[in-house]
Amino acid sequence: MQKFKDIGLKLTPQRLAILDFLDGNTDHPSAEEIYRAVSVQFPTMSFATVYNTLDSLREKGHIIELTIDPAKKRFDPCTDMHHHLICTLCKRIQDVHIPFSLDLPEQVKGDFTLTGNHIEFYGICPACRSGHQS
Protein backbone atom coordinates (compact mmCIF):
# COMPACT_ATOMS: atom_id res chain seq x y z
CA MET A 1 0.00 0.00 0.00
CA GLN A 2 2.77 2.39 0.95
CA LYS A 3 4.28 2.13 -2.52
CA PHE A 4 1.01 3.36 -4.04
CA LYS A 5 0.93 6.55 -1.95
CA ASP A 6 2.06 8.89 -4.67
CA ILE A 7 -0.51 8.25 -7.38
CA GLY A 8 -0.99 11.89 -8.39
CA LEU A 9 -4.67 11.78 -7.50
CA LYS A 10 -6.66 12.58 -4.42
CA LEU A 11 -6.89 9.42 -2.33
CA THR A 12 -10.62 9.07 -1.83
CA PRO A 13 -12.04 6.04 0.03
CA GLN A 14 -12.98 4.57 -3.37
CA ARG A 15 -9.46 4.97 -4.71
CA LEU A 16 -8.02 3.50 -1.51
CA ALA A 17 -10.28 0.48 -1.97
CA ILE A 18 -8.98 0.07 -5.53
CA LEU A 19 -5.37 0.27 -4.28
CA ASP A 20 -6.20 -2.18 -1.51
CA PHE A 21 -7.71 -4.61 -4.03
CA LEU A 22 -4.62 -4.38 -6.25
CA ASP A 23 -2.06 -4.64 -3.47
CA GLY A 24 -0.48 -8.09 -3.69
CA ASN A 25 -3.11 -9.23 -6.21
CA THR A 26 -1.66 -11.94 -8.48
CA ASP A 27 -4.83 -12.53 -10.55
CA HIS A 28 -3.98 -9.89 -13.18
CA PRO A 29 -7.49 -8.41 -13.04
CA SER A 30 -9.07 -6.36 -15.80
CA ALA A 31 -10.57 -2.91 -15.13
CA GLU A 32 -14.03 -4.49 -15.22
CA GLU A 33 -13.06 -7.08 -12.62
CA ILE A 34 -11.59 -4.40 -10.35
CA TYR A 35 -14.74 -2.33 -10.78
CA ARG A 36 -16.96 -5.30 -9.91
CA ALA A 37 -14.93 -6.18 -6.81
CA VAL A 38 -14.74 -2.66 -5.41
CA SER A 39 -18.40 -1.90 -6.26
CA VAL A 40 -19.44 -4.36 -3.56
CA GLN A 41 -18.06 -1.91 -1.01
CA PHE A 42 -18.79 1.29 -2.98
CA PRO A 43 -21.91 0.70 -5.12
CA THR A 44 -22.01 4.32 -6.32
CA MET A 45 -18.45 4.33 -7.60
CA SER A 46 -18.21 5.01 -11.32
CA PHE A 47 -16.21 2.98 -13.81
CA ALA A 48 -14.38 6.22 -14.69
CA THR A 49 -12.92 6.29 -11.17
CA VAL A 50 -11.44 2.83 -11.70
CA TYR A 51 -10.22 3.78 -15.12
CA ASN A 52 -8.50 7.04 -14.15
CA THR A 53 -7.00 5.49 -11.02
CA LEU A 54 -5.49 2.66 -13.09
CA ASP A 55 -4.27 5.16 -15.64
CA SER A 56 -2.53 7.23 -12.99
CA LEU A 57 -0.99 4.17 -11.31
CA ARG A 58 0.34 3.04 -14.67
CA GLU A 59 1.77 6.47 -15.45
CA LYS A 60 3.57 6.52 -12.10
CA GLY A 61 4.94 3.04 -12.75
CA HIS A 62 3.08 1.42 -9.84
CA ILE A 63 1.30 -1.11 -12.00
CA ILE A 64 1.95 -2.72 -15.36
CA GLU A 65 -0.65 -2.87 -18.10
CA LEU A 66 -0.59 -6.29 -19.72
CA THR A 67 -1.69 -6.69 -23.32
CA ILE A 68 -1.50 -10.49 -23.17
CA ASP A 69 -5.27 -10.91 -23.31
CA PRO A 70 -6.64 -9.47 -26.58
CA ALA A 71 -10.15 -9.26 -25.12
CA LYS A 72 -9.25 -6.84 -22.31
CA LYS A 73 -6.29 -5.11 -20.73
CA ARG A 74 -5.10 -6.75 -17.55
CA PHE A 75 -3.26 -5.06 -14.69
CA ASP A 76 -0.34 -6.29 -12.64
CA PRO A 77 0.74 -4.60 -9.38
CA CYS A 78 3.96 -6.62 -9.43
CA THR A 79 6.40 -4.38 -11.28
CA ASP A 80 9.47 -6.56 -10.73
CA MET A 81 10.66 -8.16 -13.93
CA HIS A 82 8.82 -11.46 -14.31
CA HIS A 83 7.24 -13.66 -16.93
CA HIS A 84 3.76 -15.09 -17.42
CA LEU A 85 2.11 -18.43 -17.96
CA ILE A 86 -1.21 -18.05 -19.75
CA CYS A 87 -4.09 -20.50 -20.08
CA THR A 88 -5.18 -20.23 -23.70
CA LEU A 89 -8.71 -21.33 -22.80
CA CYS A 90 -9.76 -19.27 -19.75
CA LYS A 91 -7.01 -16.60 -20.08
CA ARG A 92 -5.89 -17.13 -16.52
CA ILE A 93 -2.45 -15.54 -16.11
CA GLN A 94 0.04 -16.96 -13.64
CA ASP A 95 3.32 -15.31 -12.63
CA VAL A 96 6.62 -16.94 -13.46
CA HIS A 97 9.32 -15.64 -11.15
CA ILE A 98 12.26 -17.48 -12.62
CA PRO A 99 15.04 -15.49 -14.26
CA PHE A 100 16.00 -16.63 -17.75
CA SER A 101 19.36 -15.80 -19.11
CA LEU A 102 18.58 -14.35 -22.51
CA ASP A 103 20.62 -12.23 -24.83
CA LEU A 104 20.37 -11.09 -28.41
CA PRO A 105 23.17 -11.49 -30.92
CA GLU A 106 25.06 -8.27 -31.64
CA GLN A 107 23.79 -8.13 -35.24
CA VAL A 108 20.19 -8.06 -33.96
CA LYS A 109 20.75 -5.84 -30.94
CA GLY A 110 22.71 -3.18 -32.84
CA ASP A 111 23.03 -0.04 -30.72
CA PHE A 112 20.30 -1.10 -28.34
CA THR A 113 21.08 -1.50 -24.66
CA LEU A 114 18.87 -4.32 -23.41
CA THR A 115 16.95 -3.47 -20.25
CA GLY A 116 14.62 -6.43 -19.93
CA ASN A 117 12.44 -9.07 -21.47
CA HIS A 118 9.04 -10.62 -20.99
CA ILE A 119 8.30 -14.20 -21.87
CA GLU A 120 4.75 -15.47 -22.38
CA PHE A 121 4.31 -19.19 -21.85
CA TYR A 122 1.07 -20.71 -23.11
CA GLY A 123 -0.75 -23.76 -21.90
CA ILE A 124 -3.95 -25.22 -20.52
CA CYS A 125 -4.55 -24.70 -16.79
CA PRO A 126 -5.57 -27.63 -14.56
CA ALA A 127 -9.17 -26.37 -14.24
CA CYS A 128 -9.63 -26.19 -18.01
CA ARG A 129 -7.91 -29.51 -18.55
CA SER A 130 -10.32 -31.26 -16.21
CA GLY A 131 -13.29 -29.52 -17.83
CA HIS A 132 -14.20 -27.52 -14.74
CA GLN A 133 -13.74 -24.11 -16.27
CA SER A 134 -15.52 -21.47 -14.20
List of residues contacting Mn ion (CB under 5 A): 76, 78, 95
The residue range among 2-10, 57-65, 82-90, 96-104 that interacts with Zn ion, by the rule CB under 5 A, is 82-90
Return contacts of 68-75, CB within 8 angstroms, 24+ apart. Answer: 68/28, 68/93, 68/120, 69/30, 69/93, 72/30, 72/31, 72/32, 73/30, 73/31, 74/28, 74/29, 74/30, 75/22, 75/28, 75/29, 75/30, 75/31, 75/34
- Of the pair 45, 125, the CB lying nearest Mn ion is at 125
Residues 6-45 that bind Zn ion (CB under 5 A): none
89 makes contact, choosing from Zn ion, Mn ion, none, with CB < 5 to 8 Å by partner type, with Zn ion
The residue range among 21-29, 40-48, 112-120, 124-132 that interacts with Zn ion, by the rule CB under 5 A, is 124-132
